[in-house]
Amino acid sequence: MLNLDSHWKVSSVDVDMGKEEVEVSLEFIGERACCPITSDPRPIYDRRPVRRWRHLDTLQYKTFICCRVPRVHTMEGIRSVKVPWAGDNERHTFLFERLAIDLLLASKNQTRTAKILRCGFDVVNRIIHLSVERGLHRRQGDKTYKHICLDEKSFRKGHSYVSVLSDPLEGNVIDLVEGRKKESAIELIKKCIVPGRRRSVQTVSVDMWKAYMGAVHDTLPTAKLVHDRFHLIRYLNDGVDKVRRREVKREEELKNTRFIWLKNKMSLTDEQTITFEHLTKANYEVSRAWRIKENFRSLIGRPDVKDAFGMLIDWCAQTIRSGIREMIKVANMFKSHMSGVANAMVESASNAMAERLNGKIQLVKTTARGYRTFKNFRSAVLFFNGGLSLYPHNSR
């Protein structure tokens, strides 16, 4: 059951009925053992005091493996040999760790997992950190990204943010770092994408946050900067809603019509459709603002950037001529970020997957009722949403 090789034997099995525990004592057979550094056979120097590892339960009994691990002479001094059932300096076996990973992925809750395994919260938390470290090491330098997304996410209450780099094609978080300053974003990109693979990045989807645009320009100069369509439409929706709020103060008919202007026309109920048709015929300022928004939406999907630039310039000019100050503000914002907006009208890349990942990250936060340290938050996000290879190889 322990899948041991011929160098190890079970010397005894002790059962404590009161504590409901089983102790399986193992013993190394032979006078020579493999060096933990070179793997060469070396004479055994001595044996360490008894060490105990938590293992898979035997029926309802907690099970522990106990062993006096041999030590050998190495080029770096006297070292303990590697045991086949657990990692260095750990107090749980590979198989226990695999079970903990499976339970965490199923429950999404560290406290509940610790309760099921009948172990301390710190044990489960350490397994998360170990798994993520292992997964990131396996992925390091091995990935080529064509499209990436850079977005922010609140970490704690107040103005505490993290920058999140994600892969929209696979729907995974690549990594995250504290803060949303330019320096933080540069650190994140450099850490995740090795220099030799940065020219492979074709598009970077970001919002209009100046720090992120500067970081992309400095680290990925050959990539296209694409302003996320989701954020562009949100700016337009905000503009339409501000027009409605201003106009409703003098037009009673516009009360309780907020969602009529913000929802997709195809998603309106029959009653909302009737109200919408009536209000657009009345030629309110909010209906003109809505048409400006829809005119921009119709520009998305241009065949090339040159065509998109021309269409965008015309749209901005028409919006300014409308005289609606809220929409003019949005048009001026788009003009100041003309290249990124035009790319968004052509490229299919967007932050839609990043927004879905934000929802998943929020679920991780909510389930844990928040995180006190960024280290724990980062490991949890990458454990559940990083698409990493988490399991120890020795656990099969």
pLDDT in tens, 2-50: 888 889 999 999 999 999 999 999 999 988 999 999 999 999 999 999 9
Residue 396 has pLDDT above 60, yes or no: no
Triad 395, 391, 354: Cα angle to 5°: 170
CB neighbours of 239 closer than 8 A, spacing ≥ 6? 289, 293, 326, 327, 329, 330
pLDDT digits (tens, 9 = 90+) for 202-259: 999 988 889 999 999 999 999 999 998 888 999 999 999 999 999 999 888 999 899 8
pLDDT tens digits, one per residue of 123-167? 999 999 999 999 999 887 668 899 999 988 888 776 688 999 999
Say what the pTM is.
0.83
Query: Which stretch of 70-79, 340-349, 364-373 has the lowest confidence by average pLDDT?
Result: 364-373
Pick 1 or 355 by higher pLDDT: 1
218: Cβ–Cβ under 8 A, 6 or more apart, which residues? 182, 186
In this structure, the number of other CB atoms found within 10 A of the CB of residue 202 comes to 16
Note the pLDDT of residue 9.
94
pLDDT at 352: 65
Looking at residue 64, what is its pLDDT? 97
What is the rounded distance in angstroms from the CA atom of residue 150 to the CA atom of residue 158? 21
Q: Which two tokens mark 346?
A: 């052509």
Four-point Cα dihedral 281, 286, 290, 292, nearest 10: 100
Share above pLDDT 90 across residues of the chain, in percent, rounded to a whole number = 68
pLDDT of residue 359: 83
Higher pLDDT pick, 266 / 122: 122
Contact 95, 394 (CB under 8 A): no
pLDDT tens string 27-38: 999 889 999 999
d(CA 213, CA 300): 21
The pLDDT of residue 160 is: 83
Across the chain, mean pLDDT equals: 91
CA distance linking residue 126 with residue 374, whole number of Å: 15
When pLDDT is averaged across residues 312-334 and rounded to a whole number, the result is 95
pLDDT of residue 348 exceeding 80, the answer is no
Tokens of 203: 């598009």
Percent of the chain whose pLDDT exceeds 70: 96
Distance between CA atoms of residues 239 and 246, nearest Å: 11
Dig out the tokens for 276 from the structure.
């919408």
